[in-house]
Amino acid sequence: MNKNFIYSGLVALVVSLTCVGAINLLQNSNKTFKIEHITKTPASKAVFTLDENDKIIPLDFTKTADEVVDAVVHIRSTHIYNNNNKQNFQYRNIPDPFRDFFGDNFNRFFGPNYKFESPNMKSNKPPTKVGSGSGVIVSEDGYIITNNHVIADADDIEVTLHDNRTYKATVIGTDPTTDLALVQIKEKNLPKISFVDSDKVKIGEWVLAVGNPFSLNSTITAGIVSAKGRNINILKEQYAVENFIQTDAAINPGNSGGALVNLDGGLIGINTAIASPTGVYSGYGFAVPSNIVAKVMEDLLKYGVVQRGVLGIMIRTVDGNLAKDKDLDIISGVYVDSLMQTSAAKDAGIKVGDVILKVNDVEIKSSPELQGMIARYRPGETVELLINREGKENVFKVVLNNRDGNKALTSKENVEILNILGADLKDLDKEEAKKLDIDHGVEVTKLYPGKLRKHTQIREGFIITHLDGKKVKSKEDLINALEKKKGGVMLEGVYKDIPGEYYYAFGL
């Protein structure tokens, strides 16, 4: 027991002397201790990829992001509802339980002209709807490509650059069939994004999506091209073209109209849609290929409207089931299901049952791919189709028609008031006027997205005889009068094939 006490004492003495020595050493030393924070990890660029020459290069998104972010803008579109729309908030829009409670006695209690109005409706300020999206600067002098649904029916379009400069934009033209639109701001020396050949984009290739999701300006996400030639049936136009590039780079509401670029900063598509059960990103985004975008932009600038060549055929994608049903010896391509009466393909010798394999030496595997390829050509242009007919391959040259079945290009005057109305006009000739028993008038020959289509039931072929009760003698007089107008407009006129006079009102 005494030995244990002795050992314990010796241990305590050694520990004490060690502590005292350490304290004296620290007190007598002039050295200080400095705590340093590591600001950079020793390892960087640990992920690599291959360039077009199969050379191994570091995978780094920062350089690409710096190159493209300045050329992607935020677009704010405002639609002002006409005050006349207040008539919609009447008896029929009162909640069903409220109406059901009073039943047939509703008019006796409240009167036939009762209007159910919210506090906002009593304000003098007209109700508005504000949308948000993105756009891509494609020229130094302010041309911006975006989605048609971003600016459709907008009364005011505001563009904000990456550096927070803000401008009002003018619509140059729209193409609902591809959901694209071209607008312009008045500025020069702007940063822009260059186009690349979207046909050369490969599945698995790294891409960046640049835009303004949820109004979060200048957001960049990364992913890969996960598929090409996608059709998701989101566009409801009769001649809609869906040949989307699919990506898993995160795209959300507000990304619409933004850029999908490769790692060189080249534009490969315009982000347009998502496939989602919730309305937000869940893994799949879709972009209009840059080759289609370039064609639409060129047409809008040159003609004011997109020139769309058509084959005049009804088609289906060839798969195993169709091949078995039609006794085909191939399981890839596009099957010609029927031919229209005014079919350019029929005139070239193509028959029902043929399978289209290539367009101008570009392989075609599905109907969306064929639509996307033909959408790049104008009426009157020639395309070569490689056709499989009963196991034999032949090349047919097809001169494309327009939708009316001829080779003519569509013209559209680039007059601001006509762009606002969304119409082409021509003076009524004397013979037609005589048949209609009128001595003056201006005919609406073509309708585009604009106020007439949106706010009225006007049809192509309507002959305007009066504007606000005054005679319309010529197209020039009508344009001059409309350019001076503000507020409500009343058009009066007739149709060649419908009896009676018709009136259409809208606001400027």
Which tokens belong to 497? 């094939």
Sign, CA dihedral 426-427-429-435, equals positive
Cα distance between residue 24 and residue 8, in whole Å: 25
**CB-CB contact of 268 with 210 (8 Å):** no
**CB-CB contact of 437 with 463 (8 Å):** no
Query: Is position 179 annotated as part of the catalytic site?
Result: yes
Catalytic residue among 134, 256, 366, 367: 256
Cα distance between residue 151 and residue 450, in whole Å: 11
**CB-CB contact of 410 with 447 (8 Å):** no
**CB-CB contact of 399 with 407 (8 Å):** yes
Which tokens belong to 219? 């957001």
Query: Is position 79 annotated as part of the catalytic site?
Result: no
Residue 301, H or E segment: helix 290-302
Nearest to 483 by CA among 471, 499, 495, 467: 467
SS3 call for 77: strand
In the DSSP assignment, the letter for residue 361 is: T
What does the buried/exposed string (b/e) look like for 218-251 if buried means 16 or more CB atoms within 10 Å of the residue's CB?
Answer: bbbbbbebbebbbbeeebeeeeebbbbbbbbbbb
Catalytic residue among 77, 134, 175, 179: 179
Which tokens belong to 187? 């500025």
Q: Where are the beta strands (DSSP E) in 153-266?
A: 156-160, 166-168, 170-175, 180-184, 206-211, 219-230, 244-247, 259-261
Residues 6+ apart with CB under 8 A from 409: 303, 307, 378, 379, 380, 402
**CB-CB contact of 169 with 184 (8 Å):** yes
Query: Is position 29 annotated as part of the catalytic site?
Result: no
Nearest to 368 by CA among 163, 227, 491: 227
Write out the DSSP string of 230-256: E------STT----EEEE-S---TT-T
Catalytic residue among 74, 77, 149, 299: 149
Tell me which residues are annotated as active site.
Answer: 149, 179, 256
